[in-house]
Structure 1
Amino acid sequence: MNTRKPLGRIGELVRTFGSAVAAAAAVERGHRPTNKDLVMLGIDPLHFDRIRKY
């Protein structure tokens, strides 16, 4: 049995959660999240730039 895959999935989950926290904090501060965080969350950075602020 390969023990690396389950640990890899847990690591991926932790990285995704970290990107979500970083992106949320950036938006809350009024800044743009990094491209790396947006891509990790499955958001196209070009589409993120098109979001209008109300």
Structure 2
Amino acid sequence: MSNPRKSFLATLGTFVEVFGSAAAVSNAVEGGRAPKAKHLKALGIDPGAFRSIGKL
């Protein structure tokens, strides 16, 4: 049987990681910088596709 406490802590850790990545990407974009690839990947965003936004 799985331990409910471990499951909760794993879920909480994932939430903290995603929230932190969202904040990091937001701050980078607002500051006119490219966000780090690891933060984009944590949010499910392809870094190459993100960098090509606005380039036609």
TM-score normalised over the length of structure 1: 0.91
RMSD: 1.3
Q: Which amino acid aligns with 1:4?
A: K
Larger Rg: 2
Query: What percent of counterpart residues are identical?
Result: 45
Q: Residue type of the partner of 1:34?
A: K
CA distances 1:1-54 after superposition (whole Å, capped 9, x unpaired) = 50211110011001100000000000000000000000000000010011017x
Structure 1 unaligned spans of 5+: none
1:24 paired residue among 23, 26, 31: 26
Number of matched pairs:
53
Q: Which moved more, 1:30-39 or 1:1-10?
A: 1-10
Q: The residue matched to 1:5 in structure 2 has which SS?
A: helix
TM superposition outliers: structure 1 runs of 4+ over 3 Å: none
**Aligned ranges 1:1-54 → 2 under 5 Å:** 2=3, 3-52=5-54
Q: Which runs of 5+ in 2 are unaligned?
A: none
